[in-house]
C-alpha cells in the first residue's frame, strides 16, 4: 500500500512536467503578442523591445523552456504576471479554494444525482422510470455545461430572482455554477451506473443471494451496488477531467475568482506566467484526484487490495 | 409410496427461454416427486434442463428470458408457483436451498465468505447477529474450512473451497429439501467423499430430501434412492436406483450406462452417445431421442411416447419397451 502510494506520487512528476512542457510549447508557437497586451496598443516600440528583453521573450525556444522549467520545478516559483506584476503563486493560492470548492461540489452533485438515477433506471428496467431517466440523462450529457449555466441563470437568477447571477459572496452563489458543471457528469454517471447495475444483476452470485431468501431491496443494496460501483469509479475519474474543463468556463460565466477564470484571463492577455502556473496547478490537482479515485477502487473491490499489496 | 410421504411434487412443468427470435423449450411437461428423507437423482446430458428444473422449484429463473408456461410445484398442498414473493422468500434458503453448479461465479466477490453464510442464518433464524456469525463459523468448520478464514474474500479461496462455502450456505438453515446441482464437480475425490458424507449425515439426522443433479454415476449409485433420466427436457425413465441400474430400459439410459454391468460398483461418468441433443428451439415431433436411437421406427416419430409402467415404480417413455 505504502509502496503503491510512493510509486503513484513519483509518477506525478513526469505527468506534471510533460503537461507543462506541452503547454509551454503550444504557447510559444501560437501567435499573440504579450507585450502589446501588457503595455496597450499604443505603446512605443522601445518600451515593447524593453519588455521583451526583460522577460526573455527574444531568446530561442529552448533557452526559454529551460529557464521556465528551472524556476518552476526546483524553485516552485511561478513568476509574476506580465500585466500587473503580481505574484502568480500568491494569486493561485488565494484562488485555489474557490476552484476546489466548485469542482468538488460539482463532482459530488454528479455522484449524488447520477448513482441513484442509474439505480432507479436499472431496477425499473424497461419501464417509464427507466426511459425517463435515460432520456433526461442523454439530454444532460450532450448539453455543453456553459449553455446549461446560461439557461440556469436566465431562469433562476433573472426570471425568478432566487439566486444571484454572478459572484460567490454567500453560499447561494455556489448553487448555479456547481449544478451547471455537475449535471453533465451526473448524466454520464447515471448511464454507467445503469449499465453496470444491469450487468451485475445477471451475475450468478445475485442468484445465490436470491436463493438465500433475501428480499429484492437487500439484494440490490447489499449485493449488487458495491460490485456495480467498480466501473462507475472509472466513469467518475473520467468526469473529473471533464469537470476541470467546464469549471474554467463556469468560473468565467459566474465571475468566480478561481483558478479557471484566472487562466482564461491569462490566455486572453497572453500572460504566459499566469497560464503556465494555472496549468501546472490544475494538472497537479487533477492527478491527485485521480490518485484518490484509484484508492477508492481498493475500498470497493477487495481484489484490488491484493494488487496494492504486491 | 403413500401420498403422505411426498415432500414436493412437480406436475407437468413446462419452462421456456424466449427471446425475440426464438424459444428454447428447456423443460417439457416434467412430473417428478421427491419423497421425504429420500434422494432423487436427476441425470442427463448437458443442456437437458436439469438446472432449469431446480431453479424453477426455487423460482429463481432469470426472467426474462425464462418463463414457466405450465405446471405446478406442490409442497404442503400449496403451489409454489402461485405463492406471493414474500412467502417464497421465507421458503428459499430455509426450507428449500440450492447448491450451485459453478463455484467460481456463485459467490459475491466483494463480501467476505463468512458473511455470505451468516446472511442466510440471520435471515431465517431468530438469532442475534453474534450468534449467526458463530453459527456461520461452525458451518465453515463443518465443511472443512478453518473458521479463521471467515473474513477472507472468495478470490482468496480455491475452487473446491468456494464450492464448500456454497454448500455451507445451502446447509446453513437445515433445509427440508436440498437441490444439489452437481455439488462435487469442482472437488477432488477425498473432499468429494467428505461432502457426500456430510449430505448423508444431514439426511440421516434431519430427514432432508435431496434432488441430486449429477453426471457421476458413482454418486448416483452411492446416494440416490430413486433416479430420473432426463433427455431434451423430458423424463424418459424413472425408477428406484436398483431398477435403473439393474434393468435400464430406455435406449438412452442403456446408451448412457446400461451396457456396463458393473457401472454402479465401479463408478464412472456417463458415456457419450453418438450424435447430438436435438436443437431445443426445434424439437422433433415424436420421440425426441429418435434421431440418435438404433431402435427407432416410424411409430417413434409420429407422436410423443407416453410414460409406461414397467412394474414397481419403474416407468419408461419408449414405444419399443
Ligand atoms: N439464461 C438462458 N437463456 C437462454 N437459454 C437458456 C438459459 N439457461 C439455459 N438455457 C437453455 O436451456 C436448456 C437447459 O439448460 P440447463 O442449464 O437447465 O441444462 P443442464 O441440464 O443444467 O445442463 P448442464 O449439465 O450443462 O448444467 C439448454 O438448452 C440451455 O441452452
Ligand atoms: S421411442 Fe423409439 S426412438 Fe424413442 S427411444 Fe424408444 S425406440 Fe428409440
Ligand atoms: Mg446445469
Per-residue pLDDT of B132-147, as tens digits, reads 999 999 999 888 899 9
Cβ pair A210:B92 closer than 8 A: yes
Q: Are B194 and B283 contained in the same domain? A: no
Nearest by CB to B100, from A204, A226, A303: name it.
A204
pLDDT at B1 over 70: no
Q: A27 with A275: CB under 8 angstroms?
A: yes
- Give the residues across from B16 on adjacent strands: B25, B67
* Top mutation candidate among B250, B294, B296, B298 for ligand 2, by most atoms within 8 Å of CB: B296
Whether A75 maps to a domain, the answer reads no
By the 10 Å C-beta count (0-12 exposed, 13-18 middle, 19+ buried), B106 is classed as buried
**Average pLDDT over chain B, rounded to an integer:** 87
Do B105 and B192 have their domain in common?
yes
Note the pTM of the prediction, 2 decimals.
0.82
Q: Nearest ligand, CA of residue B284?
A: 2
- The C-alpha of B145 sits at a distance from chain A's nearest C-alpha, in angstroms, of 20
Q: Please answer whether residues B66 and A202 qualify as being in contact, where contact means their C-beta atoms are separated by less than 8 angstroms.
A: no
DSSP state of B4: G
**Does residue A188 sit within a domain?**
yes
Phi-psi domain of A251 (left: phi exceeds 0; alpha: psi -120 through 50; beta: other): alpha
Asked whether residue B133 falls in the same domain as residue B79, the answer is: yes
ipTM: 0.87
The SS3 assignment for B5 reads helix
Do B72 and B211 belong together in one domain?
yes
**B168 and B82 in one domain?**
yes
Check whether residue B133 and residue B31 sit in a common domain. yes
pLDDT at B203: 81
Domain that holds residue A157: 97-261
CA distance B245 to B305: 22
Residue A215 confidence (pLDDT):
92
B245 occurs within a structural domain: no
Asked if residue B208 is part of any domain, the answer here is: yes
Alpha helices in chain A (DSSP H): 2-29, 34-39, 45-54, 61-72, 88-123, 128-142, 145-152, 172-201, 204-211, 216-218, 225-253, 259-268, 272-300, 302-309
Q: Convert the pLDDT of each residue in A178-214 to its tens digit.
A: 888 898 889 999 999 999 999 999 999 999 999 999 9
Same domain, B56 and B199: yes
Question: CA torsion sign, A89 to A93 to A99 to A100?
Answer: positive
pLDDT above 90 (res B64): no
Give the pLDDT confidence of B34-60 residue by residue, as tens digits. 999 899 999 988 889 999 999 999 999
Q: What digits encode the pLDDT tens for the residues B65-119?
A: 899 998 999 998 899 999 999 999 999 999 999 999 888 899 999 999 999 999 9
| Residues B258 and B206 both lie in one domain | no
Structural contact between residues B238 and B250, judged by C-beta atoms closer than 8 angstroms: no
Number of domains comprising chain B: 2
For ligand 1, mutation pick of B25, B50, B100, B213 (most atoms within 8 Å of CB): B50
- Number of structural domains (chain A) is 1
Closest listed residue to residue B187, CA positions, set B114, B265, B99, B272: B99
**Can you give the pLDDT at residue B270?**
55
Residues B239-270: tens digit of each pLDDT: 999 888 888 889 888 887 754 545 444 555 55
CATH code where residue B216 lies: 3.40.50.300
A99-103, B107-111, B169-173, B218-222: which has the minimum mean pLDDT?
Answer: B218-222
For chain B positions 245-284, those within 8 Å of chain A (CB to CB) are: none
Q: Is residue A88 part of a domain?
A: no
Output the pLDDT for position B271: 57
Q: What is the per-residue pLDDT for A76?
A: 77
Q: How many CB atoms lie within 10 A of CB A205?
A: 23
**What pLDDT is stored for residue B272 in this prediction?**
64
Using DSSP bridges, classify how beta strands B234-240 and B226-231 pair: parallel, antiparallel or unpaired. antiparallel
Q: Is residue A286 part of a domain?
A: no
Kindly determine whether residue B102 and residue A204, on different chains, have CB atoms separated by under 8 Å: yes
Q: What is the pLDDT of residue B92?
A: 93
Q: What is the CATH number of the domain that holds A232?
A: 1.10.3720.10
Ligand index nearest the alpha carbon of residue B53:
1
At residue B122 the predicted structure's pLDDT band, cuts being 50, 70 and 90, is very high
Asked if B98 reaches chain A (Cβ–Cβ under 8 Å), the answer is yes
Other Cβ atoms less than 10 A from the Cβ of B140: the count is 22
Range of the domain at B281: 251-321
Spell out, as residue ranges, where chain A has pLDDT lower than 70. 308-310
Q: What cell numbers appear for A213 in the block?
A: 431468501
Amino acid at each position: 500500500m505504502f509502496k503503491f502510494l510512493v510509486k503513484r506520487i513519483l509518477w506525478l512528476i513526469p505527468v506534471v512536467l510533460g503537461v507543462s512542457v506541452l503547454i509551454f510549447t503550444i504557447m510559444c508557437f501560437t501567435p499573440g503578442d504579450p507585450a502589446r497586451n501588457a503595455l496597450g496598443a499604443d505603446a512605443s516600440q522601445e518600451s515593447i523591445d524593453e519588455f521583451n528583453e526583460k522577460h526573455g521573450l527574444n531568446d530561442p525556444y529552448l533557452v526559454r523552456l529551460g529557464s521556465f522549467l528551472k524556476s518552476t520545478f526546483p524553485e516552485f516559483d511561478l513568476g509574476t504576471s506580465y500585466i500587473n506584476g503580481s505574484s502568480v503563486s500568491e494569486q493561485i493560492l488565494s484562488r485555489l479554494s474557490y476552484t476546489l470548492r466548485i469542482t468538488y461540489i460539482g463532482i459530488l452533485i454528479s455522484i449524488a444525482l447520477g448513482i441513484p438515477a442509474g439505480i432507479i433506471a436499472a431496477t425499473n428496467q424497461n419501464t417509464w422510470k427507466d426511459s425517463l431517466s435515460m432520456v433526461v440523462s442523454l439530454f444532460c450529457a450532450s448539453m455543453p455545461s456553459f449553455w446549461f449555466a446560461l439557461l440556469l441563470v436566465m431562469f433562476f437568477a433573472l426570471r425568478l430572482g432566487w439566486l444571484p447571477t454572478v459572484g460567490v459572496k454567500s453560499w447561494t452563489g455556489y448553487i448555479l455554477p456547481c449544478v451547471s458543471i455537475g449535471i453533465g457528469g451526473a448524466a454520464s454517471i447515471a448511464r454507467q451506473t445503469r449499465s453496470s447495475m444491469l450487468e451485475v444483476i445477471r451475475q450468478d452470485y445475485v442468484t445465490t443471494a436470491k436463493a438465500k431468501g433475501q428480499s429484492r431491496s437487500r439484494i440490490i443494496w447489499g449485493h449488487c451496488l458495491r460490485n456495480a460501483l467498480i466501473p462507475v469509479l472509472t466513469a467518475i475519474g473520467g468526469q473529473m477531467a471533464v469537470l476541470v474543463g467546464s469549471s474554467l468556463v463556469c468560473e468565467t460565466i459566474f465571475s468566480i475568482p478561481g483558478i479557471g477564470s484566472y487562466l482564461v484571463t491569462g490566455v486572453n492577455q497572453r500572460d504566459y506566467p499566469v497560464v503556465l502556473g494555472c496549468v501546472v496547478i490544475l494538472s497537479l490537482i487533477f492527478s491527485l484526484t485521480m490518485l484518490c479515485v484509484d484508492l477508492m477502487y481498493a475500498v470497493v473491490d477487495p481484489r484490488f487490495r491484493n494488487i496494492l499489496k504486491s | 409410496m403413500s401420498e403422505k410421504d411426498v415432500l414436493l411434487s412437480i406436475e407437468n412443468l413446462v419452462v421456456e427461454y424466449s427471446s425475440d427470435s426464438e424459444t428454447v423449450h428447456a423443460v417439457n411437461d416434467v412430473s417428478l416427486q421427491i419423497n421425504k428423507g429420500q434422494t432423487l437423482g436427476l441425470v442427463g446430458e448437458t443442456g437437458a434442463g436439469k438446472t432449469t428444473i431446480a431453479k424453477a422449484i426455487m423460482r429463481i429463473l432469470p426472467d426474462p428470458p425464462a418463463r414457466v408456461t405450465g405446471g405446478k410445484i406442490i409442497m404442503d398442498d400449496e403451489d409454489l408457483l402461485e405463492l406471493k414473493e414474500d412467502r417464497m422468500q421465507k421458503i428459499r434458503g430455509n426450507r428449500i436451498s440450492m447448491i450451485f453448479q459453478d463455484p467460481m461465479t456463485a459467490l459475491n466477490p466483494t463480501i467476505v465468505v463468512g458473511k455470505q453464510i451468516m446472511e442466510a442464518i440471520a435471515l431465517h433464524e431468530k438469532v442475534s447477529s453474534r450468534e449467526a456469525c458463530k453459527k456461520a463459523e461452525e458451518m465453515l468448520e463443518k465443511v472443512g474450512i478453518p473458521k479463521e478464514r471467515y473474513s477472507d474474500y472468495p478470490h482468496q479461496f480455491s475452487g473446491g473451497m468456494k464450492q464448500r462455502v456454497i454448500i455451507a450456505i445451502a446447509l446453513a438453515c437445515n433445509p427440508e429439501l436440498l437441490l444439489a446441482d452437481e455439488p462435487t464437480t469442482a472437488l477432488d475425490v477425498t473432499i468429494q467423499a467428505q461432502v457426500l458424507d456430510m449430505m448423508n449425515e444431514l439426511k440421516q439426522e434431519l430427514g432432508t430430501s435431496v434432488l441430486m443433479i449429477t453426471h457421476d454415476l458413482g454418486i448416483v449409485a452411492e446416494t440416490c434412492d430413486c433416479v430420473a433420466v432426463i433427455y431434451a427436457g423430458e423424463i424418459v425413465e424413472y425408477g428406484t436406483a436398483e431398477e435403473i441400474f439393474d434393468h435400464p430400459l430406455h435406449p438412452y439410459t442403456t446408451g448412457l450406462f446400461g451396457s456396463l454391468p458393473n457401472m454402479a460398483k465401479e463408478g464412472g461418468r456417463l458415456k457419450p452417445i453418438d450424435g447430438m441433443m436435438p436443437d431445443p428451439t426445434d424439437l422433433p415431433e415424436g420421440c425426441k431421442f429418435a434421431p440418435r436411437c438404433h431402435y427407432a421406427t416410424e411409430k417413434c416419430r409420429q407422436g410423443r411416447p407416453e410414460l409406461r409402467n414397467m412394474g414397481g415404480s419403474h416407468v419408461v417413455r419408449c414405444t419399443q419397451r
